[in-house]
Chain A
Amino acid sequence: MKTKDRILHISLALFNDEGEADTTTIDIANEMDISPGNLYYHFKGKDQIITELFKQYEQAMSHTLTAPIEQPLSTDRSNVEDNWYYLYVVMEEMYQYRFLYHNLDNILQRYPDMKRGFKRLIQLKRAALYAICQTLLQQSVIDARDQQLLGLVDNMTLNLTFWFNYSELLHDRRPPHTTIHQGVLQLLTMVAPYLGDEQLSFYRDCESIYATMLEQTD
C-alpha cells in the first residue's frame, strides 16, 4: 500500500475508534511509525485527510445508492428479500465511515463543502429508499400510497442516517454486527405494517436472529 493510502487507512481507523475530534496528525504519524514531516508531505493537515476520506465515502455511497434507483433490486416477488439484504449493504458501508456520523453537526459546520456533499447523499438515500418502496409497491409486496409512502421513506431515511448515534447513546458500544442487524430490523419494523403475510416470515427471521445475537453478547 502506498504511504498516502496507508495514512488514509490508519486515519479512518483512528477516527472511527477514538473519535475524529480526539485524533491529531501526530497521533496518526505515531500510529504509522512515520515522522510528522513525512505525513505533512502527503497531507497538509487533518482537514485534507478528512476531506479526502469524505470524498471516498461520497463516491462509494453514491454508487451503492444509485443501484436501486437505476434498476430494481428484485425482479419479482421471489427475490424480494434482496431489497432487505441491500439495507445491510448500505449500513455496512456507513459503518466503515461511522466517524462522520458520530460527530456530524460539528464536522459539517467546519467543512461547508462536505455539508453540500452530505446533503446530496441524504437526498440520494431518500431516493434509493423511495425507489425500493416503489418496486415493492409494483410487485404488490407492500400496500402504502401517496403521503403514507413518502412518510415511510422519510422515516426510513431518518433512521438509517442516525441509527449509529442512537444505538451508541442507548447501548454504548456493541459488536458491529448487532448494531447493524438491529438497524435493519428497525427499518423493517417500519415497513412491517404494510407487508403481507408472505414477507412477514422474513421479518420474523430477523427478529429471531436479533434475539440470538443478544443472547450471545450477554
Chain B
Amino acid sequence: MESLITFFNEDSNLLLIYLLLFTIILGFEVISKVPTVLHTPLMSGANAISGVVIIGAIFLIRQSGPEDYLMLGLGFLGVVLGMVNVAGGFAVTDRMLEMFKKKKR
C-alpha cells in the first residue's frame, strides 16, 4: 500500500496515468467513428501502429555493448520483427485503401 501511495505521489507517474487514461478515451472516441466498410484496413493499420515496439528494440541495440552479442542479437531480432510489422502493415493497408479510393468516380 505504501509503495502505491509513493507511486501516485510522484508527479511523473501521475502524469503517465493521466496520459494513459486520456489516450484510452481518445482511442475509443476516434476508433468508434470508423465505418464497418473500413474495419479490415483499420485492423491492419492499427496492427502497423503496434509496431511501435520497434522503438524499444532500437534502444536495446543502441544501449548494448559492442561485444555483447546476446543483447545485440535479441535487439536485431526485435528490430526485424518490429520493422516487418511496421513496413508490411502500412504497405498492405495502403494497398487495401487504394482499392477503396478508386471507386469514387
Q: Are chains A and B native binding partners rather than an unrelated pairing?
A: no
Which residues of A are in contact with B by a Cβ distance under 8 Å? none
